[in-house]
């Protein structure tokens, strides 16, 4: 490929990456943004492979067909509730691929008898270190989200000391790779230590913090890709990695702010026991309700707010929720949805589910817009959410003290759809369940919303 054509392809690809990332910031444009970014990656990969004459057209086409088939199968077969796990796997493969690219460049250079330059040595070491940490850490995160690995924090004596020693060992090996004689064995030692460090860093983090961890690992995968781009001298890979790294870091900061916790607290706080903590009994009682009673309350309300949570995702209840919304709007009820930034298992989880069922985007309100309206809301229906509506966040001695929540308890009536009184991932009981004006509908979310839709239709 002529150099001018390659540079032009990279410029177009870089522009598409930036435009695609911009369009991903809104649910209304996210699908087209994803398509633009995919087209950018396709253009960049094909142009690079043809320019370097690494593979033939036949190999490129076969690879495209195989990749397309795998992508289509994943898109069709993976449930929406499993999207966080899929994102974690993507992060892991991205980090692993970057580590392999950096390693291949180091081995190629040493096999020719030449010594890698200072820049190549540093970027190779960073690419292998960060990429391998991302790879192992992401698969531990996947295991915790999938339930293969316990969601409880896994801790052991001298844990932080051991991690510090591992990190110092990694730095020592990396420095020796850069300043010492070329040695492929050091590459293997670096990768092995990084693999162990990635595992040890994520194991002590509880299931409640896995969305933040996945976001941070996404940033790591971008950093690893950027380092690999420097190692092989590919400016587009540097750009793409930097975009991913920056976006992941910004998203991580947003999520930490939404939980009122620092990144250090997430990484070292061992918070979130996977929702297995015992519920306080005491003398408190809950008001049980039925679909018939809730349907009457909804049918004759002026304003209704739905608060979706992970329980809705697990039950795949978004389509039933859309039917109920349509019936209420036909009766003249004002319906909106309040979305907490960390509802579900990844940012935008609830938005994606509701968009899948064709809920209009303008009905989705973020926390800052939704909270002032709760005092004027007749009925708030909480569908499988827990920690994001827990008033304990307002208590200074609570484990979630200061975490911004949706102020659903300010509504005239609150209906909570849950299977039981079990706590959320934070492992805390929720006083909302027992307060005056709250009603518990103990049912599967999909069954409950379906029953409510039938009753509202007959009301």
Give percent of the chain above pLDDT 90.
52
b/e code 55-68 from CB counts within 10 Å (16+ = b): eeeeeeeeeeeeee
CB 141 within 8 A of CB 213: yes
Span 181-211, pLDDT tens digits: 878 889 999 999 999 999 999 998 877 677 7
Ranges 153-157, 188-192, 223-227, 259-263: which has the least confidence: 259-263
Confidence category of residue 276, pLDDT binned at 50, 70, 90: very low
Region 170-187: mean pLDDT is 87
Span 353-410, pLDDT tens digits: 898 889 998 899 999 999 999 999 999 999 999 889 999 989 888 877 888 899 999 9
**Could you give the 3-state DSSP secondary structure of residue 78?**
coil
State pTM to two decimals: 0.80
Ranges 132-136, 166-170, 393-397: which has the least confidence: 393-397
Largest CA distance in the chain: 82
Tokens (6 digits) for 402: 């200061």
Most confident of 23-27, 33-37, 51-55, 75-79: 33-37
Q: Which pLDDT value is given to residue 126? A: 94
Which member of 387, 407, 409, 429 is catalytic?
387
Confidence category of residue 277, pLDDT binned at 50, 70, 90: very low
- Euclidean distance between CA atoms 78 and 166, whole angstroms: 36
pLDDT at 271 over 70: no
Answer yes or no: 283 catalytic.
no
Region 440-459: mean pLDDT is 94
CB 30 within 8 A of CB 24: yes
Give percent of the chain above pLDDT 70.
93
pLDDT at 86 over 50: yes
Give the chain's domains with CATH numbers.
78-268 (no CATH), 291-458 (3.40.50.1220)
CB 215 within 8 A of CB 137: no
Neighbours of 80 (CB within 10 A): 15
């Amino acid at each position: 490929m002529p150099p001018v054509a390659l540079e032009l392809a990279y410029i177009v690809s870089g522009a598409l990456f930036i435009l695609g990332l911009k369009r991903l910031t809104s649910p209304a444009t996210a699908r087209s943004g994803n398509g633009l970014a995919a087209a950018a990656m396709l253009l960049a990969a094909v142009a690079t492979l043809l320019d370097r004459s690494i593979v033939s057209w036949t190999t490129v086409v076969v690879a495209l067909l195989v990749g397309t088939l795998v992508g289509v199968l994943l898109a069709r077969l993976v449930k929406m509730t499993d999207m966080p796990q899929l994102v974690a796997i993507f992060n892991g493969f991205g980090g692993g691929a970057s580590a392999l690219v950096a390693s291949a460049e180091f081995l190629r250079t040493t096999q020719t008898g030449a010594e890698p330059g200072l820049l190549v040595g540093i970027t190779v070491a960073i690419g292998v270190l960060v990429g391998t940490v991302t790879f192992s850490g992401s698969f531990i995160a996947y295991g915790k989200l999938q339930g293969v690995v316990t969601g409880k924090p896994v801790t052991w004596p001298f844990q932080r000391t051991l991690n510090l020693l591992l990190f110092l060992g990694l730095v020592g090996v990396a420095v020796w790779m850069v300043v010492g004689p070329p040695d492929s064995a050091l590459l293997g030692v670096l990768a092995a230590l990084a693999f162990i460090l990635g595992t040890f860093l994520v194991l002590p983090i509880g299931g409640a913090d896995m969305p933040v961890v996945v976001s941070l690992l996404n940033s790591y995968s971008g950093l690893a890709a950027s380092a690999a781009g420097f190692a092989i001298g590919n400016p587009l890979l540097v750009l793409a990695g930097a975009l991913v790294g920056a976006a992941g870091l910004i998203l991580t900061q947003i999520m930490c702010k939404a939980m009122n916790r620092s990144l250090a607290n997430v990484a070292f706080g061992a918070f979130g026991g996977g929702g297995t903590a015992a519920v306080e009994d005491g003398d408190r009682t809950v008001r049980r309700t039925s679909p018939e009673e809730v349907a009457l309350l909804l049918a004759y309300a002026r304003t209704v707010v739905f608060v979706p949570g992970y329980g809705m995702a697990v039950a795949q209840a978004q389509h039933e929720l859309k039917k109920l919304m349509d019936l209420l709007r036909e009766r003249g009820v004002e319906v909106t949805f309040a979305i907490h930034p960390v509802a579900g298992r990844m940012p935008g989880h609830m938005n994606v589910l509701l968009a899948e069922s064709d809920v209009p985007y303008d009905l989705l309100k973020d926390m800052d817009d939704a909270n002032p309206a709760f005092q004027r809301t007749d009925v708030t229906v909480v569908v499988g959410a827990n920690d994001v509506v827990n008033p304990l966040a307002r208590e200074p001695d609570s484990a979630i003290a200061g975490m911004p929540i949706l102020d659903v308890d300010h509504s005239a009536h609150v209906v909570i759809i849950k299977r039981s009184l079990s706590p959320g991932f934070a492992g805390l009981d929720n006083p909302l369940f027992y307060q005056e004006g709250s009603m518990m509908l103990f049912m599967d979310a999909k069954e409950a919303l379906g029953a409510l839709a039938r009753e509202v239709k007959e009301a």
